[in-house]
């Protein structure tokens, strides 16, 4: 027991400091019109992990900035997509189908109303799609291949495509929230794409109540359509989402029962989950968490010697991934498949290609590839030079303060150096890293900007998208150019999601290119960090067949991935 006390005493102290800044767990602790004690503890769900600064935006169109919960708790999507079950769940839409190769028809659910009492109907869906004609709306590229969106009647919408992109559309119908035409029709493009939308009105189970510097409060509203239509009821009356103070403070609050669900990365959580602390996660053994995304090592393919695929393959074989998984993360992450595809996409992996071209930690193989490719240590300093005899000095960057990635970068640098590749870690602040990442002024970096989704299409779009721009803001940071691969990605986009055999035929070819050229190097699966306390709420999502299996996270984009259903399955702990 003393070992546990030594480990958690400082964390508990941090948690007590954070708690003293608010209240006894029942008050708002924030601002607005809420008073301390207003939220009965047994009716309130405290969450954290999605906000790193005070909430300031409730605009569902700005899908990279809105306060977590804006989409899912207030604004809703046509479908949910459950990545665990691999299936769509009809939501605002009762059904949707391709009635021909280029026409998709959507049947909307009847009896749905906006929170202000106005009826939800097909005009709202058409209006939301039409907003994409504004160039600054994130889904504006939709109109490059969508011809028309028309309301056939009040509950039927027909979409006609000039060039149907089945994969992108499969993503849009579950990911993009619908907004009310009657409240948005007079907004300017600046309002639509940059407005804070301080008074959000949606069709979802909660309404915005208040917020402060350190939290955001949602309140359950009466008349949510799913109560009557689907027999669903969200259990918490209030959801208080805490701005992340730090991972250590979040851990202290969780252990005290002042935080119910932490979606933070929590150091040492493996030991806590194995102890008797009333903290649970999705699995009861390593890696404990579902996989949310893949961490890749991204080499700048425009810089020597990283422009040489043989050098990149040698680098891949040099990386001690087991040390990262075990030493840095304590086995709460899992090594990535050589393709990098998440476990939910196993059916799209060609195992014959992986067996032939895959990689693993093998320093001898890394040295062999370097020697065969002409990289030698001619001056005896322990590091190979370029084939022209010039020194190689590479830098791997990750954001300062991202402690797990900082330690992983050190492991990568040390293991690469052990085979003769001179790599040094560096930790710029996040904004500086984003700047050099976009401009291409870097050697190596870590990145994980693709989440679980309906298919691997977005993953390959990230890896191979062309053309290369002056600033690469969201994809292909390594500036890798391969026209054949990009054409295959577009063919994948044109393949119906209902045809996995045709998709596998294309992904097999993409995997052969990837594992031969190594434009990015998959390392490990980041966990869907989800640690829950059972002190106030129970029946958390888990892999146990007797438990709900929905994704247990409140990050942006995850309520429409089924996390909203988690709220309907929660049960008060005994005695509350």
pLDDT band at 2 (very low <50, low <70, confident <90, very high): very low
Q: What CA–CA distance (Å, rounded) separates 299 from 479?
A: 9
* H runs (alpha helix) in 402-472: 403-418, 430-439, 457-464
**Residue range 525-549, pLDDT digits in tens:** 999 999 999 999 999 999 999 999 9
Task: Return the exposure string of 234-254: e unless at least 16 CB atoms fall within 10 Å of the residue's CB, then b.
Answer: bbbebbbbbbbbebbbbbbbb
Is residue 491 predicted with pLDDT exceeding 60? yes
Residue 32, pLDDT score: 37
The dihedral through the CA atoms of 354, 360, 365, 369 has a sign that is: positive
- Model confidence at 3: pLDDT above 90: no
pLDDT of residue 292: 95
Of all residues in the chain, what percent carry a pLDDT higher than 90? 88
Residues 335, 323: contact at Cβ < 8 Å?
no
Inter-helix orientation angle 483-493/457-464, to 10°: 160
How much is the average pLDDT of 92-118? 98
pLDDT for res 304 = 97
Give pLDDT, residue 19: 32
Mean pLDDT of the chain, nearest integer: 92
Phi, psi of 446 (to 5 degrees): -100, 145
Task: Tell me which residue of 100, 282, 66, 52 sits closest to 175, measured CA to CA.
Answer: 66
What pLDDT score was predicted for residue 338? 98
Residue 576, pLDDT score: 52
Does residue 23 carry a pLDDT above 70?
no
Confidence of residue 574 (pLDDT cuts 50, 70, 90): confident
302-353 confidence digits (pLDDT tens): 999 999 999 999 999 999 999 999 999 999 999 999 999 999 999 999 999 9
Q: What is the pLDDT, as a whole number, of residue 245?
A: 73
Would the pTM of this model clear 0.85, i.e. be above it? yes
In this prediction, residue 29 has a pLDDT band, given cuts at 50, 70 and 90, of very low
**Secondary element (H or E) of residue 400:** none
Token look-up 């851990």 returns 251
Task: Return the H-helix or E-strand segment holding 97.
Answer: strand 93-100
234-261 pLDDT, tens digit per residue, is: 999 999 999 987 888 899 999 999 999 9
Q: What is the mean pLDDT of residues 417-442?
A: 97
Instruction: Report yes or no: 322 and 286 within 8 Å, Cβ to Cβ.
Output: no
Confidence grade of residue 27 (pLDDT, cut at 50, 70, 90): very low
- Residues 168-183, mean pLDDT to the nearest whole number: 97
Residue carrying structure tokens 């290119």:
513
What's the rounded Cα separation, in Å, for the pair 398 and 272?
27
* 366, two tokens: 């890394």
Mean pLDDT of 66-95: 97
Mean pLDDT throughout 425-444?
A: 96
């Amino acid at each position: 027991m003393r070992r546990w006390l030594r480990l958690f005493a400082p964390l508990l102290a941090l948690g007590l400091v954070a708690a003293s800044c608010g209240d006894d767990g029942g008050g708002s602790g924030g601002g607005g019109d809420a008073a301390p004690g207003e939220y009965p503890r047994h009716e309130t769900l405290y969450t954290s992990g999605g906000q790193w600064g005070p909430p300031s935006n409730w605009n569902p169109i700005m899908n990279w900035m809105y306060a977590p919960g804006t989409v899912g708790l207030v604004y809703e999507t046509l479908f949910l997509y459950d990545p665990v079950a691999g299936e769509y769940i009809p939501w605002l839409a009762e059904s949707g189908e391709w009635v021909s190769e280029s026409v998709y028809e959507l049947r909307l659910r009847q009896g749905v109303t906006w929170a202000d009492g106005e009826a939800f109907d097909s005009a709202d869906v058409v209006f939301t799609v039409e907003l994409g004609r504004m160039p600054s709306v994130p889904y504006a590229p939709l109109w490059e291949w969508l011809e028309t969106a028309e309301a056939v009647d009040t509950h039927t919408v027909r979409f006609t495509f000039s060039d149907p992109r089945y994969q992108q559309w499969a993503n849009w119908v579950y990911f993009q929230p619908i907004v009310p035409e009657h409240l948005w029709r007079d907004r300017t493009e600046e309002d639509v794409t940059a407005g804070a939308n301080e008074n959000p009105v949606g069709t979802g189970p909660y309404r915005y109540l208040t917020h402060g510097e350190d939290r955001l409060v949602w309140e359950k509203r009466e008349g949510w359509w799913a109560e009557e239509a689907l027999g669903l009821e969200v259990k918490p009356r209030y959801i208080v989402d805490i701005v992340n103070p730090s991972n250590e403070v979040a851990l202290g609050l969780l252990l005290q029962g002042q935080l119910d669900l932490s979606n933070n990365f929590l150091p040492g959580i493996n030991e806590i989950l194995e102890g008797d602390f009333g903290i649970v996660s999705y699995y009861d053994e390593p890696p404990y968490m579902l996989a949310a995304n893949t961490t890749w090592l991204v080499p700048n393919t425009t810089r020597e010697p990283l422009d040489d695929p043989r050098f990149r393959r040698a680098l891949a074989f040099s990386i001690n991934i087991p040390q990262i998984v075990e030493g840095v993360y304590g086995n709460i992450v899992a090594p990535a498949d050589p393709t990098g595809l998440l476990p939910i996409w196993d059916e799209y992996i060609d195992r014959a290609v992986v067996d032939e071209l895959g990689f693993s930690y093998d320093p001898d193989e890394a040295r062999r590839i370097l020697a065969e490719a002409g990289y030698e240590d001619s001056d005896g300093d322990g590091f190979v030079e370029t084939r022209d005899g010039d020194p190689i000095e590479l830098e791997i960057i990750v954001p300062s303060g991202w402690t797990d990635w900082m330690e992983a970068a050190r492991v990568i640098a040390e293991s690469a150096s052990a085979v003769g590749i001179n790599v040094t870690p560096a930790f710029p602040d996040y904004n500086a890293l984003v700047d050099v990442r976009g401009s291409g002024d870097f050697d190596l970096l870590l990145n994980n900007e693709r989440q679980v989704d309906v298919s691997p299409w977005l993953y390959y779009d990230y890896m191979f998208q062309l053309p290369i721009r002056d600033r690469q803001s969201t994809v292909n940071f390594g500036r890798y150019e391969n026209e054949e691969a990009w054409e295959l990605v577009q063919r994948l986009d044109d393949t119906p999601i209902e045809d996995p055999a045709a998709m596998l035929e294309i992904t097999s070819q993409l995997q052969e290119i990837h594992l031969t050229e190594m434009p990015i190097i998959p390392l490990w699966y980041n966990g869907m960090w989800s640690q829950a306390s059972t002190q106030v709420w129970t029946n958390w999502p888990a892999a146990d067949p007797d438990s709900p299996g929905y994704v247990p996270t409140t990050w942006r984009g995850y309520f429409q991935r089924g996390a909203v259903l988690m709220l309907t399955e929660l049960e008060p702990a005994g005695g509350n």
